[in-house]
Structure 1
């Protein structure tokens, strides 16, 4: 490992000492240890997921000696040996190089493991059919907020992925939790997460494209596109929820519509607003770095006002200190809208 990278890593670890002590005290052992784009090594991230250390490179592969030295430095700092998994994602579309020419993880590191956050158990897999880890660490503060603000509420978790938000809502005493996602594989992990926390009330898992599901809940028609016949879709009754969580991907296209956070956030936001009860809360995310928070907030508030659902209060939830932003403009932006 180059002296510059070692110095940057040690500075990052030193800066997290207070935060890690707080996280460990609250029952969390999933966090980012090195955020390379902001801490001196663009394209390199180092995350802890319970017993696992996940190193990922996005610009160029790490050399084996540098990887092993990095892992050793972290083990020494934490005072425990973590199971190393290395994903080189410097190829096209950030896809993992599964040939593992640099480092082959031990079998134990690739087993089904368990990480912890806010005292809850989460499934951890070093490798699975998708590209991204099963828990997005920059949303930890938001999951904590949901856990603290769900008591007695009906909660709708949209683009639920592996249902971390739903899990936190259930842990926070929600009366009812729906997790909606297009991918059955994501919801399968959500069911695993639920099974790892058997003390929680059961959740509902809805496998559906976003657009037909949210438009039915909002009482809106499902329009045909250019006269094309629509595929079959899950049938839902119109209803509203006390707390709605909207966390769309940057871009996706289906027969029912296009998710485009840069050009058309409104088409996602409008039906979500209508599915939020009067006096309820809508939490919405935008993870595009090129989108400015002030511009996006203005767009969101204007959209709500035009729809006749004006926002009474708007709060911003920043990521925690393990995701530093030197210009105070982190890619992940979260707004809590009180309607």
Structure 2
């Protein structure tokens, strides 16, 4: 039986919680440091002892837990988790029934009503990511609920509740049948090799599904494509399948070469027809300028924060400079796919960064289209930070 603790919310935070803001921060609650055990049920009240919400205690970055319900009578038990998961699964029925797509998000944290937990589907296998020890304490209830609602081949987990949200390197397989390694999944007919038991990331970022399809179907044909911070080359494969004349993938990680080669191969493409370069992207930009290289389509999807031997990149501060370098090697009337998953700024700020970069280079541009998270990455309207993805297709005019 979980412990229940009553806590008072500081007056300046009451309004936010009343309107549904789901994150419980340390600053918002009096004496939250007195709660020692992660997974403790927290009941929140204002100064007049009016009930505001009920959730759990769990350290996740700056958060100290999540509100799960504003109904004081609702129990946080097996039935609660099953109800939330059932609603989330029903929301994704179109994807469950889509033969062309077998990899997608089933449950997206606070967007589906339980902050700190995500569940991804990979061709019948499920990967649960836990972002605090608090939510992890409900593991049995969550897994039992999942198995009650869907046919499960096997279950894997990622523990992201170490210091600063880093991945805890552990055996990720939980139960059921172990997935092949690699497991081949489909996304809009594109094949991807994923590894469910190989660290924090499995090999493809599911939130870019709509962007990859758009690149393949509308922008790639006959074009020379540069894919920077390319990871396993998913954008490059999408472009190649869309008829790109040639793709160039650049990433600093040594294993990016073999991983990208594999993604080309599982799609029946000859990776030797494309360039796969292990290099610091910043150094590659300098090289491309020096060699007077230019591309019709440049994909710029850096991590929010990255550090190499010579460079430190922070999206909130350095994105305009990075984009300015990309503009230099983009052909006139070429397209830049500018993307950021940084949660500290929104689309408005991102467009200001784009304007700043073009002003810096003296170039002009036209915004062609914009993307945010796909439908399976459900978000919470009061929690803007959760709607983190910003992608803008930009035509370089001059």
TM-score, normalised by the number of residues in structure 1: 0.86
Q: Displacement of 1:30 after TM fit?
A: 0.5
The reply to whether residue 2 of structure 1 matches residue 78 of structure 2 is yes
Q: How does 1:119-198 map to 2 (within 5 A)?
A: 119-128=189-198, 130-148=199-217, 149-198=219-268
Aligned with 1:306: secondary structure? helix
Q: Supply the distance in 2 between the matched residues of 1:106 and 1:98 (Cα, whole angstroms).
A: 20
The reply to whether residue 309 of structure 1 matches residue 363 of structure 2 is yes
Q: Supply the distance in 1 between the matched residues of 2:162 and 2:388 (Cα, whole angstroms).
A: 22
Structure 2 unaligned regions, length at least 5: 1-76
Query: Contact (CA 8 Å) 1:35, 1:44: kept in 2 or not?
Result: yes
| RMSD (Å), alpha carbons | 2.1
Query: Contact (CA 8 Å) 1:84, 1:109: kept in 2 or not?
Result: no
Aligned with 2:104: secondary structure? strand
The reply to whether residue 285 of structure 1 matches residue 339 of structure 2 is yes
Rate the CA distance shift 1:105–1:182 in 2: closer, same or farther, 3 A.
Answer: farther
Query: Of Structure 1 and Structure 2, which has the larger fraction of its residues in strand?
Result: 2
Aligned with 2:317: secondary structure? coil
Among 130, 144, 151, the alignment partner of 1:69 is: 144
Query: Contact (CA 8 Å) 1:43, 1:57: kept in 2 or not?
Result: yes
Structure 1 unaligned regions, length at least 5: 220-236
The reply to whether residue 206 of structure 1 matches residue 277 of structure 2 is yes
Q: Displacement of 1:94 after TM fit?
A: 3.0
The corresponding residue for 2:14 is none
Rate the CA distance shift 1:103–1:206 in 2: closer, same or farther, 3 A.
Answer: closer
Among 186, 191, 200, the alignment partner of 1:116 is: 186
Q: How does 1:51-66 map to 2 (within 5 A)?
A: 51-60=124-133, 61-66=136-141
Q: Supply the distance in 2 between the matched residues of 1:249 and 1:298 (Cα, whole angstroms).
A: 19
Q: Supply the distance in 2 between the matched residues of 1:62 and 1:185 (Cα, whole angstroms).
A: 34
Rate the CA distance shift 1:327–1:68 in 2: closer, same or farther, 3 A.
Answer: closer
Query: Contact (CA 8 Å) 1:171, 1:200: kept in 2 or not?
Result: no
Among 137, 141, 155, the alignment partner of 1:84 is: 155
Query: Contact (CA 8 Å) 2:128, 2:157: kept in 1 or not?
Result: yes
Among 311, 321, 324, the alignment partner of 1:267 is: 321
Rate the CA distance shift 1:96–1:86 in 2: closer, same or farther, 3 A.
Answer: same
The reply to whether residue 218 of structure 1 matches residue 311 of structure 2 is no
- Bigger shift: 288-297 or 249-258? 249-258
Query: Contact (CA 8 Å) 1:71, 1:84: kept in 2 or not?
Result: no
Aligned with 1:262: secondary structure? helix
Q: Supply the distance in 2 between the matched residues of 1:261 and 1:166 (Cα, whole angstroms).
A: 22
Runs of 4+ in 1 over 6 A off after TM superposition: none
The corresponding residue for 1:319 is 373
TM-score, normalised by the number of residues in structure 2: 0.74
Query: Contact (CA 8 Å) 2:126, 2:152: kept in 1 or not?
Result: no
Q: Supply the distance in 2 between the matched residues of 1:9 and 1:268 (Cα, whole angstroms).
A: 40
Query: Contact (CA 8 Å) 1:6, 1:70: kept in 2 or not?
Result: yes
Among 73, 86, 93, the alignment partner of 1:17 is: 93
Larger Rg: 2
Q: Supply the distance in 1 between the matched residues of 2:106 and 2:343 (Cα, whole angstroms).
A: 21
